[in-house]
Structure 1
Amino acid sequence: MATNEAFTDQALKALKAPKRGRIELSDGRSQGLTFRLTDKGVRSFSFRFRCPITGRVQRFTIGDYPDVTLAKARVRADELRVAVANGQNPVDDRKRDRETRATRAFEAVAKRYLAEWAERNKAPSSVAQDRRALVKHVLPKWRHKNITTLRRGNITELLQGIVDAGTPVQANRVQALISKVFSFAVDQGLVDANPCARLPRQGGRETPAKRYLHDAEIPEFWKRCATAAMRPETGLALRLILLTGVRAAEAAGMQRSELRNLDDPAAAIWEIPGERTKNGLTHVVPLSEPARQCILEALRSAKEGQPYVFPSPVRAGESIQAHSLTVAMQRMAEHIEGGAAATWKADPPSPHDLRRTFRTKLSALGIPKDIRDRLMNHAPRDVGERHYDQYDFLKEKRDGLTRWAEALSELAASKETT
């Protein structure tokens, strides 16, 4: 077959591989189209052109023959020839396309969302929840998908899979997370619109949770937190949630550096920094005597130099995880006895339900709403409170927590009511 002879399928297939190196032929019919045959028997098409900017001869690989037919190779060569005539460099364009695809892969965008937005604006516990949801529900299906190609249909398909698995509330959480990733992508100029916009909740309407510990359940809960069936650090952290109303992640991640005046029962406080709270606001928690004793007991067990009050028993240098508190509450159902057993097993409470119990009991004790809100670390909505009132309400908060601790001590020590 001559070098500049027009290619035919018969000739290309009949061409014998060289003993060494490779053979390269030019198509006499399509300018720039070349055919290469290596000593390994690999046949491929490419396009040779002169860079319109540098004048340097370059090669653009079209594909292997016969996967890419001769007819398709000629069509592609014609397209590339037009592009070069218009001042483009196909090799540079392909490189840019590959780089663009890599930066627009959903996993790459999700990582940027976590690093550039979530970690700067959300509490570490919320960031961890986002990361777990992505790893479990989204990335296995969308890891390498170009975010610009994802449509509402892709989103609803993924979410319906979560709903069909029996976790509609989780589907709503994942939907909100996906929407945040897309909003971030819009802000970064990676996509033009958020396909989640105005998308109905795929998990359906949620009923606000109302679960809290009833008086018959509190003595059992308090007792089970101190049994051999539960790790000491876990039981103490759960008791602390009920005493202070903090979130599970805030209790689990308590650090020694956050504690003040721990040797003084009248002045002991726990200052949770904004980077560890859900709303980003520092939360100062006056410690009632039972809460202080929980912390002191935990510190007596923790190794010297350990930064966390509730260190992980399996991960050196880390605290216990909020999830471990959830698991402990679930397993507690196996040991609850008496009249509390029926309600506990019928509707097992979570660590967050301890926080709801705390708020409910504060109301029952007549603690003023503004103090209840501050003890829950709810962000003030009134302009005067947000910008002008700098009073810390520390005394009022301590009084409220002390009253609750006294009431809780009585409940925990009482015989369960049926």
Structure 2
Amino acid sequence: MNNTVKFSKEWLVKLASTKAEKRTEYKDSEIRYLRATHHIGGTVKLSVYRCPRGTRKAVRVALPFTVTESMPNLQQIRAEANKVINLLDQGINPNEAKTKANTPELILRIALDNYLDGSTNTERVNTNWRRAIETHLANWLDKPLKELCTPQRIFAQHRLIMREIANSNQSQGLKGDGGIGANEVLKKLRRILNFNRALDRSLNLPQWPAEELGGSGLKMWVDQKPRTSRIHREEFSIFWPALECLSCPVQRDLFKFMLLIGCRSGEARSLEASDVNFNRWTITFKNTKNGLDHTLPLTETLKTIILERISCGDGNKLFPLFDPKVITKHIEKACGLHVSPHDLRRTFSGIAEIAGIGSTTKKHLLNHLSGRDVTDDYTGSIDIDDLRIALTKIENKIMEFVNLQK
């Protein structure tokens, strides 16, 4: 820059009293990063122009002075310029610091909305997410996410959620120390944090403290083994009579239906009469866990269950039950077996193996998309009649176990 001048108050005030033909910048001969920009309208702006340490792009930081007769002397202006230069030499951009100071803190409630709006989850999954966060992190919803995600606060909240769930289970006569439930809530918080960090880097959200919470740190996570509980072949002879003796036919038919078709509890309870195709005798599960509709054929036994539910006319839903876990309690009281709704799905999968159902067919029956390999592309879609044959084989094997010890 050729416009190098030793700045003085008198020179700057005189410069501001004239109009420039074009925008012109001057450099102070004493502090080379101190600049005075003369604009066409006559205004003179003071700034520091320099690259922050570690970068190659210069930034312009405006100084808080107006060039008038009442402006401070040059000693004060140069002192302020040196403060800015020192910050830039440390790699600190005052412009970014000012933006951060004026940016409202991202609270958990908004961060949750951001995640749910941007996710590809189904509506049902999003509802479960919101319920989990708003129930177990209610006291955190209006607090800045940045302040919440410290190792100590996360660990303390995990243990608090564990106690809350354990107490709730105990009051309902259920087992469980709440560890798995607390794990799931904090995993959701972790995903919310990571999503919002990627969404807007300017928020400067911290990374999830994985190392501090892991095995070499606070050891927060409770060991979570995959559930394997199911009905074993020798237990069918007592399970089935207990199921038949349920006083509520909707409860009885729901558990029978889930066992014989392998669907999830929520998918079965969402079924309506309009989901049944009476020409092809198929039923379509809508809004499933993977977001896709899933159509399966009905065996003769499944047809009988569906027709009975429709004939009873209990509203639009085929299985109008809010909480199927009460069925688990009734069966346990009747025969001593603790059979949860998802145990029926695991039982269905295990019996499919025993009945010789191929892995591709079983995957289709269970509506599993994960673990796809190139062989699936050669196999193509499975005919509905082949699926009906597979379901009939599974049903026959179940009834064989029911009659095993009679």
User: Smaller-chain TM-score range?
Assistant: 0.5 to 0.7
Residues 234 and 207 from structure 1, CA distance in 2 versus in 1: closer, same or farther, beyond 3 angstroms?
same
Cα deviation code 1:343-370 (max 9, x no counterpart): x2xxx22111111111111111111122
Aligned to 2:299: 288
Matched, 1:175 2:186: yes
Amino acid at match of 2:270: G
How far apart are residue 416 of structure 1 and its match? 4.9
1:334 to 2:333 alignment: yes
Query: What's the secondary structure of 1:122's corresponding residue?
Result: coil
CA contact 1:147–1:191 (8 Å) conserved in 2: no
Partner of 1:206 in structure 2? 224
Deviation at 1:128, TM superposition (A): 3.3
The change in CA–CA distance for 1:350 and 1:203 in structure 2 (over 3 A counts) is farther
Where does 1:140-151 land on structure 2 (aligned, <5 Å)? 141-150=139-148, 151=150
In the other structure, the counterpart of 1:215 is 233
1:162 deviates by 2.9
Deviation, 1:197, is: 4.4
Task: Determine whether 1:247 maps to 2:247.
Answer: no
Q: CA RMSD in A?
A: 3.2
1:385 positional shift: 5.6
* Distance in 2, Cα, partners of 1:193 & 1:395: 54
Would the aligned equivalents of 2:263 and 2:345 in 1 still touch at CA under 8 Å?
A: yes
CA contact (8 A) 2:146 2:206 kept: no
| 8 A contact 1:302–1:310 mirrored in 2 | no
Of residues 350, 353, 375 in structure 2, which corresponds to 1:360? 350
Q: Aligned equivalents of 2:186 and 2:268: distance in 1?
A: 28
Query: What 5-or-longer segments of structure 1 have no aligned partner?
Result: 1-51, 53-92, 312-319
Distance in structure 2 (CA, Å) of the matches to 1:398 and 1:415: 24
Aligned to 2:9: none
**Residues 156 and 393 (structure 1), Cα distance of their counterparts in 2 relative to 1, 3 Å cut:** farther
Per-residue Cα deviation, 1:128-187 (whole angstroms, up to 9, x for no partner):
332332233112x21221112112221111112233442111122112111121122223
Segments of 4+ moved more than 4 angstroms:
196-199, 385-389
What SS does the corresponding residue of 1:175 show, helix, strand or coil?
A: helix
**Structure 2 residue aligned with 1:270, among 261, 265, 283?**
283
Structure 1 residues 301, 202: closer, same or farther in 2, change over 3 A? farther
Q: How many matched pairs?
A: 293
Aligned pairs for 1:90-129 (under 5 A) are 100-101=104-105, 104-117=106-119, 121-129=120-128
> CA 1:295 to 1:202, structure 2 compared with 1: closer, same or farther past 3 Å?
farther
The separation in 1 between residues aligned to 2:262 and 2:293, in whole angstroms, is 15
State how far apart, in whole Å, the 1-side matches of 2:135 and 2:349 are: 32
Match of 2:359? Answer: 369
The counterpart of 2:319, out of the listed 310, 318, 337, is: 310
How do 1:2-81 residues align onto structure 2 when only pairs under 5 Å count? Answer: none
Which amino acid in structure 2 is aligned with residue 370 of structure 1? T
1:317-343 deviation digits (Å, cap 9, x = unpaired): xxx33xx1123213321122xxxx3xx
2:251 matched to 1:234?
Answer: yes
Q: Any unmatched runs of 5+ in structure 2? A: 1-64, 66-98, 167-176
Q: Residue deviations 1:291-334, cap 9 Å, x none? A: 12111111112256x2x2223xxxxxxxx33xx11232133211
Q: Counterpart amino acid of 2:312? A: S
Query: Which whole-Å deviations, capped at 9, do the CAs of 1:242-268 have from their partners, x for residues lacking one?
Result: 0011111111111333222x3x5xx31
Aligned residues with identical type, % of pairs: 23
* DSSP-derived class of the 1:335 partner: helix
Given the superposition, is the C-alpha separation of residues 235 and 116 from structure 1 closer, same or farther in structure 2, using an over 3 Å criterion? farther
Partners of 1:411 and 1:383 in 2: CA distance: 33
Bigger Cα displacement from structure 2, 129-138 vs 389-398:
389-398
Counterpart residue identity of residue 261, structure 2: T
What TM-score results when the alignment is normalised by the length of structure 1? 0.62
Structure 1 residues 382, 209: CA separation in 2 closer, same or farther (over 3 Å shift)? closer
Mapped partners of 2:262, 2:209: distance in 1: 34
Give me the whole-angstrom Cα distance separating, in 1, the residues matched to 2:389 and 2:339. 27
Residue 397 of structure 1 deviates from its aligned partner by: 1.7
Counterpart of 1:270 in 2: which secondary structure?
strand
- Offset from partner CA, 1:178-202 (integer Å, 9 cap, x none): 1121122223325534425454373
Question: Equivalents in 2 of 1:298, 1:129: separation in Å?
Answer: 28
The TM-score with structure 2 as length reference comes to 0.63
Question: Using the alignment, how far apart are the partners of 2:319 and 2:369 within structure 1?
Answer: 27
Distance 1:270 1:376 in 2: 14
The one of 366, 369, 391 aligned to 1:401 = 391
Alpha-carbon separation, structure 1, partners of 2:284 and 2:375: 20
Whose Rg is larger? 2
- Separation in structure 1 between the aligned mates of residue 276 and residue 299 of structure 2, nearest angstrom: 13
| AA of the residue aligned to 1:292 | K
> 2 CA distance for matches of 1:415 and 1:392?
32
1:257 to 2:265 alignment: no
For the residues of structure 2 that align with 1:279 and 1:142, how far apart are their CA atoms? 30
Whole-angstrom CA distance in 1 between matches of 2:135 and 2:266: 20
Q: For the Cα contact (< 8 Å) 2:262–2:349, is it kept in 1? A: yes
The CA deviation at 1:386 is 6.3
